[in-house]
Amino acid sequence: MSNLNKLDFTALEVPGRNYLKWVPDMKLHLTAKNLRPTIENEMDNTVGEAKKATAIIFIRRYIHDALQIEYFAKEDPQALWVAMANHFDHQNDIFLLEVKHDWQYLHFQDFKFVNSYNSEVCQIQSLLKFCNESLTEEDLLEKTYSTFFATNIVL
């Protein structure tokens, strides 16, 4: 896309790796432009054709050219939103598996500094919260203690 440097946020990529970040960004921008009702499924919601056209133009501006062609036939922003959700919503499951893998293979001894380890733990914890999973304080302590070498543990 030649207009990437003009965008307010990153356009949706073809494989959808950035879909989970793209959705809240798109919702915020649509809300700021008073276009959010165009993608929501509300029965009492009557949105004018001009707002629908503006919303579809805005959404298409923030998706990759190949996706624009794939969803070219969608002229209603809500139909486009639902079609893209059906196509990309599995990204949350893939993302969750990656984060769980990172948590499983996180070892305190792999880090040179405690701050680096703590930063990685906080990042994983935040990503798990994003995926509607949570870690308790007990989980965090158990992970840290279980990754020490037995010779380094002082009770």
Q: Where are the domains positioned within the chain?
A: 4-88, 91-152
Give the integer Cα–Cα distance in Å for 100 and 14: 25
- Higher pLDDT pick, 109 / 124: 124
Q: How confident is the model at residue 151 (pLDDT cuts 50, 70, 90)?
A: low
Query: Which pTM was predicted?
Result: 0.67
Site of tokens 């969803």: 71
Residue position matching structure tokens 């003009």: 6
Does residue 6 carry a pLDDT above 90?
Answer: no
CA distance 39 to 52: 9
Tokens linked to 153: 């543990």
